[in-house]
Structure 1
Amino acid sequence: MTDPVAPIGPTARIYAISDVHGHLAPLQAALDLVDLDGDPGAELVLLGDYVDRGPDSCAVLEEIRETQRRHPGRVTALLGNHDDWLLGWLDGEDHDLDWLMGDADLMTVRSFLSPLELARALGHEDPGSDASRLDGPTMNRNLKRALLSRHRPLLAWLRALPRVHETEQQIFVHAGVDEEAGELWRAATPDHVLTEKFPASTGPFLKDVVAGHVRTHQLHPDGSHGVFHDGASHWYIDGAVEVTGRLNVLCYDVAEGTYSSSTAG
């Protein structure tokens, strides 16, 4: 039996959250602030980087996918560079260990596998033993096969996520767009720029650009972690959850044309 779908009214508020980085509790606190269940005029855009750096990468993806399922047409999830790198590792050659070597203590991989599954992928049956008995390429292949075997639908969902979401007023994106292209930005911006553009752009543009990727303490003169607005067309919301334990939540009031922000964690 499927859940009944309530009629969707006009959008009154658009919320944005970015750079969850494997931190489930702050994400759940942020979703409580958005309150999609209690606010039929709310829409949510998640700007990517759901994995790496925190212990709950898999659970974060599952939470976002389930939130999207429960609120069809009201939740947009975009791809970030860390999500793209995870997929690139899964698709890559077994001898390419770069992403895996960057996964400190296999924290991201561990979030996808049970202790026994991890142990077997590492070449032993004891979940309490972390040292691999296998050479790097074989271990790499085993880990990728284990993730794909257990989470193929979830990873397929991740792979299908778009990289940009445009509204009448905003361009939501993980990192940024080719602003030098002006009105041709959508055709001119390569995929890797959408997820990896650096440094942050500032100043006026055709629409408001709402992005994550660049930690806001790098933009605020006082080094604070709140939402950063450049006074023109750019909003950056990556509050470095791995440092602060909190996520920034940006809200756009469609009728008023105004922004407000809060933090959750």
Structure 2
Amino acid sequence: MKTIYAMSDIHGMIGPFRKRLDQLNMDEFSAGEATLILLGDYIDRGYNSLKVLETIYELKCDLKDNMIVLMGNHDKWFLNFLEGHNPGWLGNSQATAFVSQFMPEEDMGKVYTLLSRYRQDLISDIARKAFEKYNSDLYSWMKSLPLYHETEHQIYVHAGVDEEAEDLWMYGTSDEMFYEKYPPVKGYFYKDIIAGHVSTSTASGHRNDHDIYYDGESHFYIDGIDSYPADAKEKDCIIPLLLYTEDNERGRYYSIRHDGRKALICEKKW
């Protein structure tokens, strides 16, 4: 039987992320009986982005091929910032908090001085050197994150694919579309698409929807974190957890509730 767990848009919220990890049987992954797929956006919003990245990286090193970690737009924006292509990324308190987690105190003094002078363009080089010095393995790993993961019946991706390209989507989809596609698409596609990026409240049209959204055909949106207000406390947020099982040519999708109970979303016959 094939078993896949998927999460997306952790956004620096280490508490809710660890709660979800605690609900998983890691022996199942180590034995190759299950795969964990993360769909991107590990940083920003919450104030523990570095801890989230370190946790994911350590887990990936342990689980190897039984864990897939994809690129999200916020992750890409951070990498672009380090390369000097996105100085405006440092324009919010969460981003500054993230940088302060890997930057020596004396260098952070320079950062705050440059911010006060509106010279974000000069900060990238300082930040990149610090990140490379103290987190070189993490930096190299982040730059290598894939844009999608394909199975026989599914496409796991941060934002989406070019569905007009049909079965040539992997050639018709630009890198930016994989992690920035908007608005969310609904309806039939020849493979199921499991994505984050767009809040489940936006996808469903229901303001307080924090759970997995299924459009009834081929699309599953699992970014519930961005459905919470910007000032929501980490302890009050729950990261949606999708479970997919497949046996005897039948696939079943479940939402794992906060207490660990499974709730069937749909069943498909392949």
Q: Shorter-chain-normalised TM-score: which range?
A: 0.7 to 0.9
Q: Aligned residue for 1:169?
A: 153
Q: Give the distance between the partners of 1:44 and 1:131, measured in 2 at CA.
A: 42
Aligned partner letter, 1:183: D
Q: Distance in 1 between matches of 2:37 and 2:161?
A: 17
Q: TM-score scaled to structure 1, two decimals?
A: 0.85
Query: CA distance change for structure 1 residues 210 and 52 in 2, over 3 Å: closer, same or farther?
Result: same
**Contact preservation (8 Å) 1:79, 1:161:** yes
Residue segments in structure 2 that go unaligned for 5+ positions in a row = 260-270
Q: Tell me how far 1:118 sits from its aligned partner.
A: 3.5
- Measured after TM superposition, the shift of residue 264 of structure 1 is 4.4
Alignment match of 2:7 (pick from 14, 17, 22): 17
Residues 131 and 17 (structure 1 numbering): CA distance in 2 closer, same or farther, change over 3 Å?
A: same
SS at 1:247 equivalent: coil
- Is the contact between residue 123 and residue 134 of structure 1 (CA under 8 Å) also seen in structure 2? no
Q: Which moved more, 1:160-169 or 1:238-247?
A: 238-247
Match of 1:222 in 2: 206
Partner of 1:195: 179
Q: Which has the higher mean CA deviation after the structures are superposed, 140-149 or 179-188?
A: 140-149
2:52 corresponds to: 60
Task: Supply the distance in 2 between the matched residues of 1:264 and 1:159 (Cα, whole angstroms).
Answer: 32
SS in 2 for 1:210: strand
**Contact 1:237–1:249 at 8 Å: present in 2 too?**
yes
Q: How far apart, in 1, do the equivalents of 2:22 and 2:115 lie?
A: 44
Helix, strand or coil at the partner of 1:61:
helix
Among candidates 17, 36, 40, match of residue 48 of structure 1: 40
Q: Is the 8 A contact 2:196 2:221 kept in 1?
A: yes
Cα RMSD (Å) of the superposition? 2.2
Higher helix share: 2
- SS in structure 2 opposite 1:180? helix
Separation of aligned partners in 1, 2:93 and 2:176: 21
1:3 — aligned with what?
A: none
For structure 1, the 5+ residue unaligned runs are: 1-10, 125-129
Sequence identity (%): 37
Residue 149 of structure 1 is matched in structure 2 by 133
How far apart are residue 208 of structure 1 and its match? 0.3
Q: 1:33 aligns with which of 20, 23, 41?
A: 23
C-alpha contact (below 8 Å) 1:122/1:134 kept by paired residues: no
Q: Which amino acid aligns with 1:111?
A: Q
Letter in 1 for 2:210: H
Distance 1:178 1:77 in 2: 21
Which secondary structure does the structure 2 equivalent of 1:237 belong to?
Answer: strand
Q: TM-score when scaled to structure 2?
A: 0.83
User: For residues 138 and 240 of structure 1, do their structure 2 counterparts lie closer, same or farther at Cα, with a shift above 3 Å needed?
Assistant: same
1:6 corresponds in structure 2 to: none
My pick for the range that moved more, 169-178 or 100-109, is: 100-109
| 1:49-74 deviation digits (Å, cap 9, x = unpaired) | 00111111111111111111111210
Decide whether aligned partners of structure 1 residues 139 and 195 sit closer, same or farther in structure 2, where only a CA change above 3 A counts: closer
State whether residues 118 and 143 of structure 1, in contact with CA within 8 Å, keep that contact through their aligned partners in structure 2: no
- 1:258: which partner in 2? 252
Shift of 1:84: 0.3
Stretch deviating more after TM superposition (64-73 or 13-22): 64-73
Matches of 1:235 and 1:213, distance apart in 2: 11
AA matched with 1:42? A
The answer on whether the counterparts of 1:53 and 1:108 sit within 8 Å (CA) in structure 2 is no
1:233 aligns with 2:227: no
Preserved contact between residue 49 and residue 79 of structure 1 (Cα < 8 Å): yes
Q: 1:132 to 1:25 in 2, by over 3 A?
A: same
